[in-house]
Chains A and B, each alone.
Chain A
Amino acid sequence: MTKLFIENAAALSPLGASLDEIWSAVMARKTVYGKVSLPGDRSFYAAETRPGTGSDISVYAPLFNDAIRGMVADLGIAEPVDAVFFATAVGNLGQVENEVYAGRSITLDDLDFAQVEAVFADTPAWGPETRFVSVPTGCCAGLQATGLAKAVMERMGIKRAIIMSLDFGLTPLAFEAFHKINATTGYDRSANASPSRPFCRNRNGFLFSDGGGAILVSTEQSFPDQPCISGYGCVSSAYHMTDIATDGDAIGKSIMLALQQSGLAGHEIGHVNLHASGTQQNDEAEYNALLATLGSDLPTITAFKGNHGHALGGANMIELALSWKILREATIPPTPEHLPIDAYDAVTPRSTPQALDRLSILKTASGFSGIHASLIMEASICA
């Protein structure tokens, strides 16, 4: 199976406008959250990449396209890539909502996920031969786009590609829709700590946020020990559109497929970066999946949504970019300050960074529609 070698990574999130800024904030154990107010006396928790924009859709709407251009620039691309694999949950929902509320006309292109390629076409990453695909499968989309790239790049002669996932989904419709199904933590004006509490006993839903990440990948290795994506697995749970079976069986199957493809055994995983949305069901399911696939002596775990919330599909590649940093620095960040991480005995808080001994990371993601994907990233044994 083809391995994808990572040349560079970029991200933006409520913790920072660049991957380095986010990494520094994570290492400093920072968390971020705020409040968005909408008509009808509605208040929601939110973590915003541009603070204060979520309450005004006319200001918020352009951020999606701006972020694409910004991340392409951050990847330092000087010449066109062969392909762009773009992933999202809600795409440019903010732009369309803004047009409706402003009473302006909408075009079919505005609604077309394939048309996001027009934004890339204005960047140095685009050339006459660049191919484009959008994967709008929600909170699993980034990993699915990576899996798709891994499966098709070599056979299509695609040598170098951008894989990006991005969501600026803090829109009125999305806030209300997630609130209606109790996916997000309800706003509490008396609270004095982040409502995003993955792997804490008192977790109660996800903190809605925005942002995204990107990696520049090649099918060819540039230097020894270059981090690469070596395994991928994806299954459907066939269980429920939004609920996750807490036995973790489906997540466990996706992990086993990824391990199988990478050639690694469970005990060879040095670190796990989880989806960890902070809902009761998700974290229980992931914990049980880890026990079933890696054994009871679990490696260290990171759950970055505890730092900056859940950016839907965008979260996947923020977390993948941070996982790349973990491999490059051989350092596991501490857990966010003020989070007790007390839900399970085998998952414990860290007040200081820790060395990464085995350069292999398991990354998981799950999304609405009952989709679960896992991915293996490693550094020392990619050649």
Chain B
Amino acid sequence: MCMTFTCVLSGENATLSDMKTGAQSIMSRRSFDGLISRRQRGKLSTGARIAGGMYSHFGLTALLEELGADPKDTPIVIYNRYANWDYVADSMCKDQRMTLDGVNNYVATAWFPATVQGYLTIVNGNKGEAITIASKDRGLRAAAADSLFKRDASGARRGVVLVGTFEAIPAKIGPISVDRALSCAFGAFSLVTAESTEEQIETALDAHQELYSHVAI
């Protein structure tokens, strides 16, 4: 079984959906941002903030426990294809010196693609294995999720693998347009249980990939 939740930021709203029940809710960006601590916000990319907000909104700690998983030891796979360019897009410009003057103490971690997995493990005290993967290969994506399951002595899967996709693509980096890109921000979480079939895993991951339709014109 896979449970999938999505979030799309647009204008002043965040649209949150439970793919299994079809339930959808819309909250203001201000309320959504309030789901993670104020102290964290300035340090994090939009993608990491979406991940934190969704984790809180959908109560993933409780859901993992209900599914028999240990939220402090749950493997995470993040399927992201882009670095967090939103964090530096406004401060970059054609002048190298001005760009460098605008680099703050968090650029090294906020731009970096594995920020999301790091943020999720740190904020939730999760010591499970975590990996970030960029691939167009449907089978490889599913195999990667399968490979992260904990196994019993017979090799059978145990627990849950938490799968996520969190992107924020700017339409411009500094004054330079990103050709055909739409400014967008979205995220998805799937809880993939040990009983999930390969087809169910691929279907869940497809829901993540469908969100990339927001990226290009």
Q: A residues touching B (Cβ–Cβ < 8 Å)?
A: 38-40, 42, 57, 83, 89-91, 93, 96-97, 99-108, 111-114, 117, 131-138, 144, 148, 151-152, 155-156, 172-174, 176-178, 180-181, 183, 234-242, 250, 253, 367-371
Contact = CB atoms under 8 A, between A and B. Distances in A.
Contacts of B20: none
Nearest to B174: A100
Contacts of B104: 180
| Chain B: interface size category | 35 or more
Contacts of B95: 39, 101
Contacts of B58: none
9 contacts: A133-B137, A137-B132, A152-B147, A155-B143, A172-B99, A173-B99, A173-B103, A241-B119, A371-B117
A322 B141 CA distance: 30
A105 B108 contact: no
Contacts of B99: 100-101, 172-173
B96 A368 contact: no
Contacts of B135: 114, 132-134
B5 interface: no
B107 A180 contact: yes
Interface in B57-96: 72, 76, 80-83, 85, 88, 92-96
A235 B83 contact: no
Contacts of A83: 140
A178 B100 CA distance: 12
B94 A367 contact: no
Contacts of B175: 103
B56 interface: no
B101 interface: yes
B29 interface: no
Given A108-B179, A131-B140, A238 B103 contact: no
Interface stretch (B6-14, B123-131, B187-195): B123-131
Nearest to B172: A106
Interface in B166-180: 169, 173-180
Most A C-beta atoms less than 10 A away, residue of B95, B118, B121, B143: B118
A237 B127 contact: yes
Nearest to B107: A177
B130 A134 contact: no
Given A137-B117, A368-B114, A106 B100 contact: no
Given A134-B135, A236-B127, A112 B82 contact: yes
Contacts of A174: 108
Nearest to B118: A369
Given A100-B174, A107-B178, A236-B129, A40 B107 contact: no
A250 B129 CA distance: 11
B136 interface: yes
Contact of B100 (A91, A137, A176, A237): A176
B26 interface: no
B165 to A, nearest CB: 12
Contact of A107 (B85, B139, B147, B179): B179
B122 interface: yes
Given A105-B176, A106-B178, A368-B118, A178 B134 contact: no
